[in-house]
Chains A and B, each alone.
Chain A
Amino acid sequence: MALDKMTRLLLELVEKTNNGSLRWEGTAAEGVYQVSFPNFTVQISARGFDFVLTIRNAEGTILEEAADTEFSNKIQNPMATMNQLYVNARRQALGVDAALDNLLDELSKKTS
């Protein structure tokens, strides 16, 4: 039951991250990115060969964790799905798209 809800959460996060409605941020820990809501925070992290989705409560305590391997019976290719989420979260947290937009803007000024 919990895994069903975690699966729905994962898919919602993927969709909302792709359409840019979530604001992912880096954390003090290497390879851990998070997005917060008024009462909870969701983190995506890379641990060895696994991607892990973690939910933390209002005190920062871990409520639930699920690695990509746990979603294998729920969605097709969970590793690719979580990898996509991780990469997009990282890009947003580090401001990669904003940097690329800025660079392209600067280059267009040079050529014109």
Chain B
Amino acid sequence: MESVQDWMKSLVDWLATSKVAGVVGGLGLLVTVVGFGITLYQVRKSRTAAEAAARSANQVRQTIEHFDAIAECATAIQALEEIERMHRAGPIGGLPDRYTAVKKGLIGISRVKPGPSEAHRTELQDAIVQITMLKNTVEKLIAQNELRVNSSKLNDITSKMIATLTELSAELRRVKAQGES
């Protein structure tokens, strides 16, 4: 009985003959190429799946952001209506905190992605600075112990902001609906 060592030696000798070596080499190359192809296909497939998942997650995030921005518009409009009443009837001491709350909301809305149109971003920017000016003006009046503000002038500004936010809310709804369809 041949020892394992002898058997292995004869196997290697047989494989070393040029004809068999060529076939084995060719098969090896084929297996390598096919394996590499399968690997490339799997990598591509998983990358496409990962990209699709990322796109889907991004779409969900944008839908949530738009939903939040629409809700923020409604909250800001409500707060501005309350501010208008306070401009008319006072007390003006509570106004600065309300201006700050509206400003925070406006800044949040301005950062939503995909953002509103350039015209609406300009109007939002205008509203953010207007509310900043309102706060500075009323803070000065409070410091001077004034009890009333020029409600006609200030409500002109707040009414314009309400109109801007109403239009913006409609635009965000449109963008959200397009994103969902």
Contact = CB atoms under 8 A, between A and B. Distances in A.
A36 B129 contact: yes
Interface string B130-146: 11111011100000000
Interface SS majority for chain A: loop
Contacts of A27: 129-130, 133, 157
A29 B137 CA distance: 6
- Of the candidates A25, A38, A40, the one having the most CB atoms from chain B within 10 angstroms of its own CB is A38
A32 B137 CA distance: 11
A40 B123 CA distance: 11
B134 A28 contact: yes
B125 A59 contact: no
Interface residues of A, number: 18
A29 to B, nearest CB: 5
Interface of A: 25-29, 32, 34, 36-41, 43, 56, 58-60
Given A29-B133, A60-B131, 16 more contacts: A25-B130, A26-B153, A27-B129, A27-B157, A28-B130, A34-B126, A36-B125, A36-B129, A38-B122, A41-B125, A41-B129, A43-B129, A56-B129, A58-B125, A59-B128, A60-B128
